[in-house]
Amino acid sequence: MTDLNETHDPTLSSWVDSANGAETDFPIQNLPFAAFRMAGSDEYFRGGVAIGDFIVDLAAVASQGIFNGLAQDAVNACAHEDLNEFMAMGKPAWSALRLSLSKALRTGSGDQFTLSSCLVAQADAEFKVPCLIHDYTDFYSSIHHATAVGKQFRPDNPLLPNYQWVPIGYHGRASSIGVSGQQFSRPLGQLKAPDADVPVLGPSRRLDYEVEVGIYIGLGNELGEPVSMVEAEDYVFGLCLFNDWSARDIQAWEYQPLGPFLAKSFASTVSPWIVTTEALAPFRVPFTRPENHPQPLPYLTSDANSAEGSFDVSLSCLLRTAGSDIENPLSRSSFKYSYWTVAQMVAHHTINGCNLQAGDLFGSGTQSGPEPQEAGSLLELTQGGKHPITLANGETRTFVEDGDTVIMRGYCEKPGAKRIGFGEVTSTVLPVRWSPRSGSVH
Amino acid sequence: MTDLNETHDPTLSSWVDSANGAETDFPIQNLPFAAFRMAGSDEYFRGGVAIGDFIVDLAAVASQGIFNGLAQDAVNACAHEDLNEFMAMGKPAWSALRLSLSKALRTGSGDQFTLSSCLVAQADAEFKVPCLIHDYTDFYSSIHHATAVGKQFRPDNPLLPNYQWVPIGYHGRASSIGVSGQQFSRPLGQLKAPDADVPVLGPSRRLDYEVEVGIYIGLGNELGEPVSMVEAEDYVFGLCLFNDWSARDIQAWEYQPLGPFLAKSFASTVSPWIVTTEALAPFRVPFTRPENHPQPLPYLTSDANSAEGSFDVSLSCLLRTAGSDIENPLSRSSFKYSYWTVAQMVAHHTINGCNLQAGDLFGSGTQSGPEPQEAGSLLELTQGGKHPITLANGETRTFVEDGDTVIMRGYCEKPGAKRIGFGEVTSTVLPVRWSPRSGSVH
């Protein structure tokens, strides 16, 4: 786990005024990373750090040469289009750069003049997926989600026997992961109604979002060398917001026996900002297993994990219909409910020798809380489409409609710490590109 | 489909003598691609093409500048460490380079003197995975495998209802794919005996190979733009041999409800050589669905697919025990039995808008034939470990033991065409790295 240090001091303020408001996601205690360029330009993307309403252009900072040693090496690595090289440098480099940026952005810093020439307004920027994601793994770490979904298929036996033992995960599709603002066409796929004899090809009618936390791997491990629970968090660079779009009807027909495939691979959306695990240090909490649940096997336990293995990241999900400005709240939850911790995901993923690489992404799985209104998907909120929800404009939704934008936000707050935020991840569903007359795709 | 052209002429011979033998895998009609360097050196890897016992060093050829136009552009792209750039150039470039190499390597070619300075003996070379594999998808395309495995779990209902409609596939782990010669430690994982109350951590005791064909994507498609059956093969660069290592006991406990994960991600092995679809043109055959099976949905049909959608690649699998030279034959089969064709895999994978990228790898799924002795895994050959097979030295095997090397070979032959081969893919299982006394990993 990461100890608190001077960068977490809640009394720190910045000479960037907008970083000092009570409601900003990006105070000087946060300093999350992204890859950005001026919107609409053909500039190279490069690394940036959020401060208030601005981005610190790390390529510009690198060229100033104002940092020393490891911090300067680290900022040099952030001048590239992808953050992989920086992520692969490991915790000492991540911490050194964080500390140097914290000092340079503080009120009264002697670097204010130099750094202010490296600021870009977030409103003027566009973002990309911040690194090359080599492999993407999706976990299934909310027991509340697993139970609620299981109930729809197996009312008497919702949770499968392996759930309390195995941090269930599966490989996902990396190529179709986009950054916030992603727009994608409603997916086509094979659909088979329960009472139909044969499937048909058609646009998904049960298109759903999943509120997830994304977890970026920094340090990689060698093939054949499992990562222990004690080391696991050294391999984790930071967290983001993640919408793991899912076509429930495609999934229902295709997923036996090898799991979800085309039901997921048409789009998934990450937030631009990666909040580092170091920034999240004040918001660590223990996860307490219910007393009647088995304790995890030894390779999934450590003292630190028991003491403060979880991250208390508040998550909210909202929906905006086409042409409207109204954000309809759908649910709120927290990553603290996750049945499996990030460290357990890393230790489990590598126990067979699987090698992680810098830039790998884990999805946490849908983060539903214990209460029904904390459900992280429409599948749960509408109980499989049986109970539509009503929006502010009187429309109803069982699943996501064309033109809908789904918005997820995240933040951490607690007494005695400065509130930090994740920004948001939005994505919009466009109509299917398909000619039903001809039955053909074009 | 690819038409035959002068490069397929079975009467062509090469000034490289070893390319003209009846038994060589690499006559001038083949010309498969790999990434290689001198064994044990710290040279950069670069593209190479096999001819007899030699490799044409494509970086060396590129620097000679002897080809024209697109063929020279193509060979320039092959000078890089990964073949992705060349693969992304598409069929016209692949064909142009093939034709130029065919001409330059023919008996009597005026380029003999120049090209002979670009030859490296295969015996002196080492290989790597020939491209950056962005995403790896494993299909399940042998109905004989699916039925045989299904029978072990559901004797009365072996084949799930979706099998004859959906080319079942799932996302796999790209990072742990290695090239022939891969050695890996027996994976650790959670194991739960059927009669046990709780799982334990231990080395897999049911470690198995899977005889598969690997399919490399060349051309990519844009997110949201499905590839039709008519275009599908334009996106496919070529085929290789692929061993999809599987830990059956880990899989049995973890795979519900989201599919295989750690049971597969510890190692998978590709052959060094990619045989292009153009080289395989003489070996295309129709696949005839049994009469009582439903016809595929229209997005999975085309005239060309019906006429010659399959590849008749003969596959064999052998096992060598530690310290022995004896290759024990395990099974023989052919890719022609695949229930779904490569074109159908591409069309299905993209029907939801999923984007493929140059260098993506598909596994075909275990290629078992209709007869029991044509099974592509020990799970099938030993009926789940119940019927051990006996090796030449008197040892028996239910699953793969430490020190065993599994060897797969592939070739195509038919009257009127020159036989071409895939070379081989070998991989060796090392003992688990684990201390059972401490229960810890080290």
Joined together, the tokens standing for residue B421 give 């081969």
User: Can you give the pLDDT of all 442 residues of chain A as single tens digits?
Assistant: 558 999 999 999 999 999 999 999 999 999 999 999 999 999 999 999 999 999 999 999 999 999 999 999 999 999 999 999 999 999 999 999 999 999 999 999 999 999 999 999 999 999 999 999 999 999 999 999 999 999 987 888 899 999 999 999 999 999 999 999 999 999 999 999 999 999 999 999 999 999 999 999 999 999 999 999 999 999 999 999 999 999 999 999 999 999 999 999 999 999 999 999 999 999 999 998 999 999 999 999 999 888 899 999 999 999 999 999 999 999 999 999 999 999 999 999 999 999 999 999 999 999 999 999 999 999 999 999 999 999 999 999 999 999 999 999 999 999 999 999 999 999 999 999 876 544 455 4
Determine whether B145 is an active site residue. yes
Which of these is catalytic: B8, B145, B348, B349? B145
Rounded alpha-carbon distances, angstroms, from residue A126 to A57, A241, A272: 13, 17, 9
Q: Are residues A410 and A313 in the same domain?
A: yes
pLDDT at position A436: 53
Same domain for A159 and A192: yes
pLDDT for the residue A2: 56
Residue numbers belonging to the annotated binding site of B: 138, 140, 154, 210, 212, 244, 251, 255, 264, 268, 366
Tokens 């992705």 belong to B84
- pLDDT surpassing 90 at residue B339: yes
Domain range for residue A94? 6-128
Please report the pLDDT score of residue B2 as a whole number. Answer: 56
Give the C-alpha separation, A365 to A342, whole Å: 12
Q: How far apart are CA A246 and CA A230, in angstroms?
A: 34
Domain boundary pick from B84, B108, B128 = B128
Same domain as B157, residue B101: no
Q: Do A170 and B261 touch (CB under 8 A)?
A: yes
B436 to chain A, minimum CA–CA distance in Å?
A: 12
Of the listed ranges A314-318, B21-25, B154-158, B214-218, the least confidently predicted one is B154-158
The whole-angstrom distance between A378's CA and the closest CA on chain B is: 19
A141 and A26 in a common domain: no
Residues of B in contact with A184 (CB under 8 A): 223-224, 353
Interface membership of B40 toward A (CB under 8 Å):
no
- Chain B residue numbers touching A170 (CB-CB < 8 A): 170-171, 258-261
Residues A121, A162, single domain; the answer is: no
Is the distance from CB of B230 to CB of B344 less than 8 angstroms? no
ipTM: 0.97
* Min distance B430 CA to chain A CA atoms (Å): 10
pLDDT at A435: 63
Residue of A nearest to B167 (CA): A254
CA angle, B153 then B243 then B408, to 5°: 115
Q: Do A169 and B353 touch (CB under 8 A)?
A: no
Q: What is the CATH number of the domain that holds B286?
A: 3.90.850.10
Contact between residue A343 and residue A306 where contact means Cβ atoms under 8 Å apart: no
CATH of the domain at A14: 2.30.30.230
B244 inside 8 A of chain A by CB: no
Whether residue B129 contacts residue B178, with contact meaning beta carbons closer than 8 Å, is answered with yes
CB within 8 Å: A172 and B175: no
- Of B184, B185, B46, residue with least CA distance to B126: B46
Domain presence at residue A73: yes
Catalytic residue among A8, A80, A145, A348: A145
pLDDT of residue B442: 44
* A439 domain-assigned: no
Q: Do B256 and A298 touch (CB under 8 A)?
A: no
Domain for residue B32, yes or no?
A: yes
* Claim to verify: residue B27 and residue B122 sit in the same structural domain: yes
User: In DSSP terms, which residues pair with A242 in a beta bridge?
Assistant: A212, A270
Same domain? B165 vs B83: no
SS (H, E, C) chain B: CCCCCHHHCCCCCECCHHHCCCCCCCCCCCCCEEEEEECCCCCCCEEEEEECCEEEEHHHHHHHCCCCHHHHHHHHHCCCCCCHHHHCCCHHHHHHHHHHHHHHHECCCCCHHHHHCCEEEHHHEEEECCCCCCCEEEECCCHHHHHHHHHHHCCCCCCCCCCCCCCCEEEECCCCEEECCEEEECCEEEECCCCCCCCEEEECCCEECCEEEEEEECCCCCCCCCCCHHHHHHHEEEEEEEECCEEHHHHHHHCCCCCCCCCCCCCEEECCCEEECCCCHHHEECCCCCCCCCCCCHHHCCHHHHHHCEECCEEEEEEECCCCCCCEEEEEEEHHHCCCCHHHHHHHHHCCCCCCCCCCEEECCCCCCCCHHHCCCHHHHCCCCCCCEECCCCCEECCCCCCCEEEEEEEECCCCCCCEEEEEEEEEEECCCCECCCCECC
B148 with B14, same domain: the answer is no
B150 and B121 belong to one structural domain: no
Are B356 and B217 in contact, with CB atoms under 8 Å apart?
yes
Q: Residue B29: pLDDT band by 50, 70, 90 thresholds?
A: very high
Residue of chain A nearest B301, judged by CA positions? A440
What is the reported pLDDT for A338?
Answer: 98
Q: Is the pLDDT of residue B9 over 80?
A: yes
Interchain contact, B357 vs A175, CB within 8 Å: yes
Name the pLDDT band for B153 (thresholds 50, 70, 90): confident
What is the spatial distance between Cα B67 and Cα B74, in angstroms, rounded to a whole number? Answer: 9
What integer pLDDT is reported at residue A157 of this predicted model? 84
- Search chain B and give the residue with CA nearest A200: B297
B1 found inside a domain = no
Q: Given this model, what pLDDT does residue B437 score?
A: 46
B283 — phi, psi (to 5°)? -115, 25
For B233-246, the pLDDT digits (tens) are: 999 999 999 999 99
Contact B223 A162 (CB under 8 A): no
Task: Return d(Cα B37, Cα B52) in angstroms, integer.
Answer: 17
Q: How far is A67 from chain B (nearest CA, A)?
A: 34
pLDDT higher than threshold 90 for residue B201: yes
| A287 shares its domain with A401 | yes
Cβ-Cβ pairs closer than 8 A, A with B, add up to 220
Query: Hey, what's the torsion of the CAs at A77, A79, A84, A89, to 10 degrees?
Result: 20
- Using a CB-CB cut-off of 8 Å, the residues of chain A touching B298 are 201, 439-440
Structural domain total, chain B: 2
The alpha carbon of residue B123 is apart from the nearest alpha carbon of chain A, in Å, by: 26
A366 appears as a binding residue in the annotation? yes
pLDDT of residue B206: 98
Q: Is the minimum CB–CB distance between B253 and chain A shorter than 8 Å?
A: yes
User: Among partner residues A138, A228, A262, which is closest to B354 by beta-carbon distance?
Assistant: A262
B353: chain A residues, CB-CB within 8 Å: 176, 184-185, 187-188, 266-267, 433
Last residue of a domain, one of B62, B95, B128: B128
**Two tokens, residue A355:** 């090698």
**Residue A332: inside a domain, yes or no?**
yes
Burial of B309 from C-beta contacts in 10 A (0-12 / 13-18 / 19+): buried
Task: Summarize the confidence of residues B242-264 as an average pLDDT.
Answer: 96
pLDDT tens digit sequence for B77-121: 999 999 999 999 999 999 999 999 999 999 999 999 999 999 999
In the sheet that A125-128 helps form, which strands lie side by side, from edge to edge?
A: A119-121, A54-57, A46-51, A33-38, A125-128
Domain-located, residue A74:
yes
Give the integer Cα–Cα distance in Å for B114 and B100.
13
Partner A contacted by B360 (CB < 8 A):
yes
Q: Are residues B400 and B259 in the same domain?
A: yes
Q: Do B262 and A174 touch (CB under 8 A)?
A: no
pLDDT band at B435 (very low <50, low <70, confident <90, very high): low
Spatial neighbors of A179 by CB under 8 A, at least 6 apart, are A127, A128, A129, A130, A269, A270, A271, A272
Question: Taking CB atoms and an 8 Å limit, are B184 and A259 in contact across chains?
Answer: no
Whether pLDDT at B1 is above 60: no
Residue A396, classified by CB atoms within 10 Å of its CB into exposed (0-12), middle (13-18) or buried (19+), is: exposed
* pLDDT computed for residue A251 by the predictor: 96
Residue A1 lies in a domain: no
Do A122 and A245 have their domain in common? no
Q: Is A246 annotated as a binding residue?
A: no
Report whether B259 contacts A251 (CB < 8 A): no
Does residue A173 have a known ligand-binding role? no
Query: Looking at A96, A128, A160, which one is the last position of a domain?
Result: A128
Is residue A57 marked as binding?
no
